Structure 1
Amino acid sequence: MSEHNHVVKKDGELDMNKVDNAINKIDQGEKDRILSDFDSFKTYLHKRIKLAESIGLGEEQLAKGAEKIASYLAENEEPRNSEEKLLQELWKVGTQEEQHKLAHLLVKLAQSE
């Protein structure tokens, strides 16, 4: 099954419930590789955003996906570098609106990679 089929609904919208499943399917070694340094994290996000854009997801859907991922990371993963620690702290103190804006900024940052 392609990634498109398991996280995107037939109408082209991102299925937020299935985003959780996709995150949980990433094995620990891969998570460690992705989160080992901030450049690896940005590169991973960049590739995922390019894939999402290629199947038609827009900026708002990308930001909602980024929110889901950021929430998961803040709750389940220990930061492995100072940049991740800063993002985690900002996420935890932010309101839902601020978190959404931060998610938009993370998408922009990864797009510029």
Structure 2
Amino acid sequence: MAENPEKKVAHMKEEKKDEIMQNFQYFKDYLGDKVEMGEKIGLDDDQLTKYAKKVADYLAKQEKPRNREEYLLNEMWNVANEKERENIAHVLVKMVDRTND
């Protein structure tokens, strides 16, 4: 999972990427699946946060927001410093972590 998240997202089929990015709930479900997968292979919160940050960095640079929630996240990401971005990534991981239900 933690190998190269930017490459994985970049090489994802455009159709799949559009499906995930069109609806914020789909985005959260996708991220939740990846967090769950990471937990199953033993990644801790710090590792999951680093992975989420790499994906968010890629999305902020390469993908146009496609809904209100993504637009807000993109705006927050772009004005945040590195520490704040880590915090945002951590909050995203917490938000989609199904083990906290």
TM-score under structure 2 length normalisation:
0.92
Aligned residue in 2 for 1:70 = 56
User: Structure 2: where are the runs of 5+ without partners?
Assistant: none
Following superposition, the deviation at residue 20 of structure 1 comes to 2.0
Selected match of 1:106 from 82, 88, 92? 92
Structure 1 unpaired stretches of 5+ = 1-6, 8-13
Q: Deviations over 1:1-35 (max 9, x none)?
A: xxxxxx4xxxxxx33xx222212221110100111
Counterpart of 2:43 in structure 1 is: 57
Q: Partners in 2 of 1:74 and 1:19 — Cα distance?
A: 14
Specify which structure has the bigger relative contact order, considering alpha-carbon pairs within 8 angstroms and separated by 6 or more residues.
2
- Structure 1's consecutive aligned runs of 4 or more residues displaced over 2 angstroms after TM superposition are none
Q: TM-score, normalised by structure 1?
A: 0.83
Distance in 2 (alpha carbons) for counterparts of 1:21 and 1:91: 20
Largest Rg, 1 or 2: 1
3-state secondary structure, aligned to 1:83: helix
Aligned pair 1:33/2:12, yes or no?
Answer: no
